[in-house]
Structure 1
């Protein structure tokens, strides 16, 4: 099955539930997201198809471009079906780097969020360590020299793992000038090894669940600015 096949998303949903180490990792990601959006409603999740955030945070509007059972709606991040100022927060996990016109998405987020709302995400990040992983051990493109746009080939096959770093670190000044109503509140690199040990959603096996806590204890002692494979990113809608 291709990555854009809805059956692939359903398979990934099952893997997230059946692999204890990977489930622990996603529970930590969801905990980080939930902590950033306390008291903000309604909350829209983009790319919900393979995940289980709704089990962790009640009332989330689940959406995905890929049509799979159990979602609230099918939605394109660049054309959100909400009125101006309707949302309290937008959250996503490994979604932004698949959006082919990220400037259009940010413009939509500004339109749909009320002042004080947040866009919170966990995304791939560009560090000395992650460059080696994304260039040599990952199937998705990784191009730190790219622009903000790339061709659309499909909801998941379209990608640039370097896009979050491009947008919020390399081109931060341009981002702030282009979107004065959106501030970059937090960029927190993290997890240089945990996702690799989990086997991710493309491999049926991974490290045992009991080893997750030890792995994370070790990771927190490392220089994550240089080694983080992912980052927690929090954007805030200004008044």
Structure 2
């Protein structure tokens, strides 16, 4: 049992057996345990997420199998599905926390799964303290990466979608449904970022960076295969950081987005 402060003024008490485990979560955790390269990559992602948040309390949304706690055990992990290590089972569109409680909110490959991303951004802003940050790492539809996502990734890419559109709540929606184009549509251009700030005026887009050039696609992600040993992930990431930003924008498989609560 875990005890967490405040859910609309109450104490959240969740047991890990509250909801049965999803088989996809079990498979992901097995791959995580087996692939050293995957763990090395994600620990670096976690480091970047935390470094872009102020010191203090951090909420991890869409925690999945809670592997982020290997990098920071005190993070509060929330997910719509239960799993050992998940502290709060909740919908990201309706977070069970009082206003202005967290210094940081972090997410890794979550935004493109959300049915109503703008509604979520408003909710994330609500639970952030002024000056707090929302840091996300998401798929990037760059010149090179989009070809791979279109052809080889199981999640769809719909560049014609309108992430600002009002969407009716679907109570039967699979939480693994996704559109990998959503982060790119929302944050890849200056006009899109300005529209975000106009739509959610309590947030400012602080940075949008392009990364995950070579090591991530070579790792195979949560697929069973990998083309890179764990020992080479660190040197490969160091090489990636030397690639000029204009080139990265065409090669990157991921984007880091940081928004700040004002």
TM-score for both structures, normalised by structure 2: 0.83
Query: 1:45 Cα shift?
Result: 0.6
Q: Within 2, Cα distance between the matches of 1:185 and 1:201?
A: 30
Alignment of structure 1 residues 1-239 onto 2, 5 Å: 6-41=22-57, 43-148=58-163, 153-156=173-176, 158-170=177-189, 171-222=192-243, 223-238=247-262
Q: Within 2, Cα distance between the matches of 1:208 and 1:14?
A: 17
Long gaps (5+) in structure 2: 1-20
Q: Within 2, Cα distance between the matches of 1:62 and 1:70?
A: 7
1:69 aligned counterpart, secondary structure: coil
Q: Within 2, Cα distance between the matches of 1:83 and 1:64?
A: 17
Long gaps (5+) in structure 1: none
Query: C-alpha offsets along residues 197-237 of structure 1, whole Å, 9 cap, x if unaligned?
Result: 11211325442112223432443343111111001111100
2:8 aligned partner: none
Query: 1:168 Cα shift?
Result: 1.4
Deviates more, 1:180-189 or 1:200-209: 200-209
Q: Within 2, Cα distance between the matches of 1:206 and 1:67?
A: 32
**CA RMSD across the alignment:** 1.8
Q: Within 2, Cα distance between the matches of 1:33 and 1:164?
A: 16
- Which has the larger Rg? 2
Query: C-alpha offsets along residues 30-74 of structure 1, whole Å, 9 cap, x if unaligned?
Result: 110111124132x11111123411121131111111122221110
Q: Report the count of equivalent residues.
A: 232
Q: Within 2, Cα distance between the matches of 1:206 and 1:227?
A: 18
TM-score for both structures, normalised by structure 1: 0.90
Q: Within 2, Cα distance between the matches of 1:50 and 1:141?
A: 23
